Protein backbone atom coordinates (compact mmCIF):
# COMPACT_ATOMS: atom_id res chain seq x y z
CA UNK A 1 0.00 0.00 0.00
CA UNK A 2 2.88 2.36 0.76
CA UNK A 3 4.25 1.88 -2.75
CA UNK A 4 1.01 3.13 -4.35
CA UNK A 5 1.37 6.50 -2.61
CA UNK A 6 4.74 7.12 -4.25
CA UNK A 7 4.80 8.97 -7.57
CA UNK A 8 5.43 6.48 -10.39
CA UNK A 9 8.21 6.76 -12.95
CA UNK A 10 7.41 6.09 -16.60
CA UNK A 11 10.35 4.89 -18.63
CA UNK A 12 10.95 4.14 -22.29
CA UNK A 13 13.43 1.30 -22.80
CA UNK A 14 15.10 1.38 -26.22
CA UNK A 15 16.33 -1.76 -28.01
CA UNK A 16 18.30 -0.47 -30.99
CA UNK A 17 19.37 -3.86 -32.38
CA UNK A 18 22.74 -2.62 -33.65
CA UNK A 19 24.91 -5.49 -34.93
CA UNK A 20 28.43 -6.03 -33.62
CA UNK A 21 29.71 -5.77 -37.19
CA UNK A 22 28.59 -2.17 -37.68
CA UNK A 23 28.65 -0.92 -34.09
CA UNK A 24 32.07 0.75 -34.25
CA UNK A 25 32.21 1.55 -37.96
CA UNK A 26 32.74 5.27 -38.56
CA UNK A 27 30.33 5.38 -41.51
CA UNK A 28 27.56 3.83 -39.40
CA UNK A 29 27.69 6.41 -36.59
CA UNK A 30 25.03 8.73 -37.95
CA UNK A 31 22.58 5.91 -38.69
CA UNK A 32 23.06 4.39 -35.24
CA UNK A 33 22.33 7.65 -33.43
CA UNK A 34 19.36 8.33 -35.70
CA UNK A 35 17.99 4.85 -34.94
CA UNK A 36 18.08 5.50 -31.20
CA UNK A 37 16.64 9.00 -31.56
CA UNK A 38 13.79 7.81 -33.81
CA UNK A 39 12.87 4.87 -31.56
CA UNK A 40 12.95 7.20 -28.54
CA UNK A 41 10.79 9.81 -30.24
CA UNK A 42 8.21 7.26 -31.43
CA UNK A 43 7.98 5.67 -27.99
CA UNK A 44 7.19 9.04 -26.43
CA UNK A 45 4.28 9.94 -28.72
CA UNK A 46 1.25 10.91 -26.62
CA UNK A 47 2.96 9.56 -23.51
CA UNK A 48 4.31 11.30 -20.44
CA UNK A 49 7.76 9.68 -20.30
CA UNK A 50 10.07 10.60 -17.41
CA UNK A 51 13.09 8.56 -18.42
CA UNK A 52 14.49 7.28 -21.73
CA UNK A 53 17.03 4.46 -21.43
CA UNK A 54 19.51 3.41 -24.13
CA UNK A 55 21.66 0.25 -23.82
CA UNK A 56 25.28 -0.31 -22.87
CA UNK A 57 27.77 1.37 -25.25
CA UNK A 58 24.92 2.81 -27.33
CA UNK A 59 27.14 5.68 -28.49
CA UNK A 60 29.24 4.40 -31.43
CA UNK A 61 32.43 6.31 -30.60
CA UNK A 62 34.68 7.13 -27.67
CA UNK A 63 33.38 9.88 -25.39
CA UNK A 64 35.43 12.04 -22.97
CA UNK A 65 34.77 10.79 -19.45
CA UNK A 66 34.34 14.29 -18.04
CA UNK A 67 32.14 15.69 -20.80
CA UNK A 68 29.48 18.07 -19.49
CA UNK A 69 27.01 17.64 -22.35
CA UNK A 70 25.80 14.93 -24.72
CA UNK A 71 27.76 14.81 -27.98
CA UNK A 72 24.56 14.36 -30.01
CA UNK A 73 21.28 16.32 -30.37
CA UNK A 74 18.59 15.51 -27.79
CA UNK A 75 15.60 17.15 -29.48
CA UNK A 76 13.74 13.85 -29.18
CA UNK A 77 13.56 14.38 -25.40
CA UNK A 78 11.23 17.31 -26.11
CA UNK A 79 12.63 19.24 -23.18
CA UNK A 80 10.82 17.03 -20.68
CA UNK A 81 12.41 13.56 -20.42
CA UNK A 82 15.72 12.53 -18.88
CA UNK A 83 18.14 10.17 -20.65
CA UNK A 84 20.37 7.33 -19.49
CA UNK A 85 22.81 5.92 -22.03
CA UNK A 86 25.91 3.77 -22.18
CA UNK A 87 29.20 4.87 -23.75
CA UNK A 88 32.82 3.79 -23.94
CA UNK A 89 34.71 6.69 -22.36
CA UNK A 90 38.28 7.80 -21.78
CA UNK A 91 40.14 9.97 -19.29
CA UNK A 92 43.74 11.12 -19.64
CA UNK A 93 46.08 11.08 -16.64
CA UNK A 94 49.47 12.48 -17.57
CA UNK A 95 50.64 10.43 -20.55
CA UNK A 96 48.29 7.57 -19.85
CA UNK A 97 44.78 7.25 -21.25
CA UNK A 98 42.32 5.11 -19.27
CA UNK A 99 39.20 3.64 -20.83
CA UNK A 100 35.90 2.98 -19.05
CA UNK A 101 32.57 1.31 -19.72
CA UNK A 102 30.31 4.13 -18.53
CA UNK A 103 26.71 5.19 -18.13
CA UNK A 104 25.64 8.84 -18.34
CA UNK A 105 22.53 10.45 -16.86
CA UNK A 106 21.52 13.59 -18.71
CA UNK A 107 18.87 16.28 -18.29
CA UNK A 108 16.27 17.06 -21.00
CA UNK A 109 18.62 19.73 -22.40
CA UNK A 110 21.51 17.25 -22.73
CA UNK A 111 23.45 18.43 -19.69
CA UNK A 112 25.19 15.56 -17.94
CA UNK A 113 24.01 15.16 -14.35
CA UNK A 114 26.42 12.37 -13.50
CA UNK A 115 28.24 9.30 -14.75
CA UNK A 116 28.96 5.81 -13.47
CA UNK A 117 31.94 3.68 -14.49
CA UNK A 118 31.50 -0.08 -14.46
CA UNK A 119 33.14 -1.61 -11.37
CA UNK A 120 32.93 -5.31 -12.19
CA UNK A 121 34.62 -5.96 -15.51
CA UNK A 122 34.42 -9.14 -17.60
CA UNK A 123 37.71 -11.11 -17.37
CA UNK A 124 39.48 -11.33 -20.75
CA UNK A 125 36.63 -9.37 -22.32
CA UNK A 126 37.15 -6.00 -20.62
CA UNK A 127 40.34 -6.58 -18.67
CA UNK A 128 43.15 -9.11 -18.42
CA UNK A 129 43.66 -10.86 -15.07
CA UNK A 130 47.33 -11.00 -14.06
CA UNK A 131 48.00 -8.54 -16.87
CA UNK A 132 51.56 -7.88 -15.72
CA UNK A 133 52.56 -11.42 -16.67
CA UNK A 134 50.14 -12.23 -19.52
CA UNK A 135 50.91 -8.98 -21.37
CA UNK A 136 54.35 -10.25 -22.32
CA UNK A 137 52.96 -13.56 -23.56
CA UNK A 138 49.97 -12.18 -25.48
CA UNK A 139 50.72 -8.55 -26.49
CA UNK A 140 47.34 -8.22 -28.25
CA UNK A 141 45.67 -8.24 -24.86
CA UNK A 142 47.42 -5.03 -23.77
CA UNK A 143 44.44 -2.70 -24.29
CA UNK A 144 41.60 -3.00 -21.78
CA UNK A 145 39.16 -1.10 -19.59
CA UNK A 146 39.82 0.38 -16.17
CA UNK A 147 37.50 -0.29 -13.24
CA UNK A 148 35.23 2.31 -11.75
CA UNK A 149 36.31 3.17 -8.23
CA UNK A 150 32.99 3.66 -6.46
CA UNK A 151 29.38 2.59 -6.15
CA UNK A 152 27.34 5.41 -7.61
CA UNK A 153 23.74 6.41 -6.96
CA UNK A 154 22.21 9.12 -9.14
CA UNK A 155 20.19 11.63 -7.11
CA UNK A 156 18.19 14.25 -8.99
CA UNK A 157 14.66 15.48 -8.41
CA UNK A 158 12.51 12.34 -8.00
CA UNK A 159 15.20 10.04 -9.39
CA UNK A 160 17.30 8.02 -6.95
CA UNK A 161 18.73 5.04 -8.80
CA UNK A 162 21.81 3.07 -9.74
CA UNK A 163 22.93 1.71 -13.08
CA UNK A 164 24.06 -1.91 -13.33
CA UNK A 165 26.11 -2.46 -16.48
CA UNK A 166 25.85 -5.87 -18.15
CA UNK A 167 27.82 -8.54 -16.22
CA UNK A 168 27.51 -6.61 -12.94
CA UNK A 169 24.02 -8.05 -12.52
CA UNK A 170 25.69 -11.29 -11.36
CA UNK A 171 26.86 -9.71 -8.11
CA UNK A 172 24.26 -9.34 -5.33
CA UNK A 173 26.71 -7.51 -3.08
CA UNK A 174 26.89 -4.70 -5.64
CA UNK A 175 23.13 -4.13 -5.76
CA UNK A 176 22.95 -4.33 -1.96
CA UNK A 177 25.65 -1.66 -1.71
CA UNK A 178 23.65 0.50 -4.12
CA UNK A 179 20.48 0.14 -2.03
CA UNK A 180 22.39 1.03 1.13
CA UNK A 181 23.57 4.19 -0.66
CA UNK A 182 20.03 5.25 -1.52
CA UNK A 183 19.08 3.51 -4.79
CA UNK A 184 15.28 3.25 -5.08
CA UNK A 185 15.27 1.36 -8.39
CA UNK A 186 17.77 -0.20 -10.78
CA UNK A 187 18.59 0.46 -14.42
CA UNK A 188 20.39 -2.39 -16.17
CA UNK A 189 21.98 -1.60 -19.54
CA UNK A 190 23.63 -4.32 -21.59
CA UNK A 191 24.81 -5.38 -25.03
CA UNK A 192 24.24 -9.11 -25.49
CA UNK A 193 24.76 -9.08 -29.27
CA UNK A 194 27.95 -11.12 -28.98
CA UNK A 195 25.93 -14.05 -27.49
CA UNK A 196 24.25 -14.45 -30.90
CA UNK A 197 21.34 -16.93 -30.96
CA UNK A 198 22.16 -19.03 -27.90
CA UNK A 199 20.76 -19.56 -24.41
CA UNK A 200 23.13 -16.81 -23.18
CA UNK A 201 20.78 -13.81 -23.55
CA UNK A 202 17.98 -15.66 -21.74
CA UNK A 203 20.16 -16.79 -18.84
CA UNK A 204 21.69 -13.34 -18.51
CA UNK A 205 18.28 -11.66 -18.60
CA UNK A 206 16.71 -13.76 -15.87
CA UNK A 207 19.46 -13.02 -13.33
CA UNK A 208 17.87 -9.59 -12.89
CA UNK A 209 14.88 -11.23 -11.18
CA UNK A 210 17.08 -12.28 -8.27
CA UNK A 211 18.40 -8.74 -7.78
CA UNK A 212 14.85 -7.33 -7.87
CA UNK A 213 13.48 -9.84 -5.35
CA UNK A 214 16.48 -9.65 -3.00
CA UNK A 215 16.23 -5.88 -2.69
CA UNK A 216 12.51 -5.33 -3.44
CA UNK A 217 13.46 -2.87 -6.17
CA UNK A 218 11.99 -2.36 -9.63
CA UNK A 219 14.39 -3.26 -12.41
CA UNK A 220 14.52 -1.60 -15.85
CA UNK A 221 16.56 -3.43 -18.49
CA UNK A 222 17.57 -2.01 -21.88
CA UNK A 223 19.50 -4.45 -24.08
CA UNK A 224 20.94 -3.62 -27.49
CA UNK A 225 19.66 -6.80 -29.19
CA UNK A 226 17.38 -8.07 -26.42
CA UNK A 227 16.11 -9.13 -24.03
CA UNK A 228 14.64 -5.79 -22.90
CA UNK A 229 12.03 -5.81 -20.11
CA UNK A 230 11.04 -4.44 -16.72
CA UNK A 231 10.62 -6.29 -13.44
CA UNK A 232 8.51 -5.53 -10.37
CA UNK A 233 9.96 -5.83 -6.85
CA UNK A 234 8.25 -9.24 -6.56
CA UNK A 235 10.16 -10.55 -9.58
CA UNK A 236 7.42 -10.39 -12.23
CA UNK A 237 8.81 -9.78 -15.73
CA UNK A 238 6.81 -7.57 -18.08
CA UNK A 239 7.03 -6.87 -21.82
CA UNK A 240 10.10 -9.03 -22.52
CA UNK A 241 11.19 -8.42 -26.12
CA UNK A 242 12.29 -10.80 -28.83
CA UNK A 243 15.95 -11.06 -29.79
CA UNK A 244 17.42 -9.10 -32.70
CA UNK A 245 14.50 -6.75 -33.19
CA UNK A 246 14.44 -2.93 -33.05
CA UNK A 247 11.72 -2.09 -30.56
CA UNK A 248 10.78 -0.20 -27.40
CA UNK A 249 9.17 -1.03 -24.07
CA UNK A 250 7.19 1.36 -21.90
CA UNK A 251 7.48 0.68 -18.17
CA UNK A 252 5.73 2.12 -15.16
CA UNK A 253 7.53 1.54 -11.88
CA UNK A 254 7.37 2.72 -8.29
CA UNK A 255 10.57 3.66 -6.44
CA UNK A 256 11.06 1.99 -3.07
CA UNK A 257 12.97 2.86 0.07
CA UNK A 258 12.33 -0.51 1.71
CA UNK A 259 15.31 -2.47 3.02
CA UNK A 260 14.72 -6.20 3.02
CA UNK A 261 15.96 -8.77 5.49
CA UNK A 262 18.41 -9.91 2.81
CA UNK A 263 19.80 -6.38 2.41
CA UNK A 264 20.39 -6.18 6.17
CA UNK A 265 21.86 -9.70 6.45
CA UNK A 266 23.28 -10.72 3.04
CA UNK A 267 25.86 -12.99 4.67
CA UNK A 268 23.19 -15.20 6.25
CA UNK A 269 22.24 -17.15 3.10
CA UNK A 270 25.80 -18.28 2.18
CA UNK A 271 26.45 -18.99 5.86
CA UNK A 272 23.40 -21.27 6.11
CA UNK A 273 24.39 -22.99 2.85
CA UNK A 274 27.85 -23.63 4.27
CA UNK A 275 26.33 -25.09 7.45
CA UNK A 276 24.09 -27.39 5.37
CA UNK A 277 27.05 -28.57 3.27
CA UNK A 278 29.18 -29.28 6.35
CA UNK A 279 26.25 -31.10 7.98
CA UNK A 280 25.73 -33.17 4.81
CA UNK A 281 29.42 -34.15 4.68
CA UNK A 282 29.35 -35.09 8.36
CA UNK A 283 26.20 -37.23 7.98
CA UNK A 284 27.59 -38.90 4.86
CA UNK A 285 30.74 -39.92 6.71
CA UNK A 286 28.67 -41.30 9.58
CA UNK A 287 26.74 -43.54 7.19
CA UNK A 288 29.93 -44.44 5.33
What is the Cα 243 distance to its own chain's centre?
Answer: 18
Catalytic residue among 118, 126, 184, 214: 118
Catalytic residue among 56, 126, 168, 184: 56
Residues forming beta bridges with residue 89, ordered by sequence position:
63, 100
* 158 given a catalytic annotation: no
* 166 given a catalytic annotation: yes
* 56 given a catalytic annotation: yes
Measured distance CA(247)–CA(260) in Å, rounded: 34
Catalytic residue among 126, 166, 184, 214: 166
Residues annotated as catalytic (active site), given as ranges: 56, 118, 166
Amino acid sequence: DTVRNIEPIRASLIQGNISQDQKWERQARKNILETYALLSSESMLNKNIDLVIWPEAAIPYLTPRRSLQTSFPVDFLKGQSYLIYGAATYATQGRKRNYYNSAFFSAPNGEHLGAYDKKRLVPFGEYVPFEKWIKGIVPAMAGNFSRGDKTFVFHHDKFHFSVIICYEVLFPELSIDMVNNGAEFFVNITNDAWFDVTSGPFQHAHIGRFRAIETRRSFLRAANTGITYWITPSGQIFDATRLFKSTTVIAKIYPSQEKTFYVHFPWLVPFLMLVIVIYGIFKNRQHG
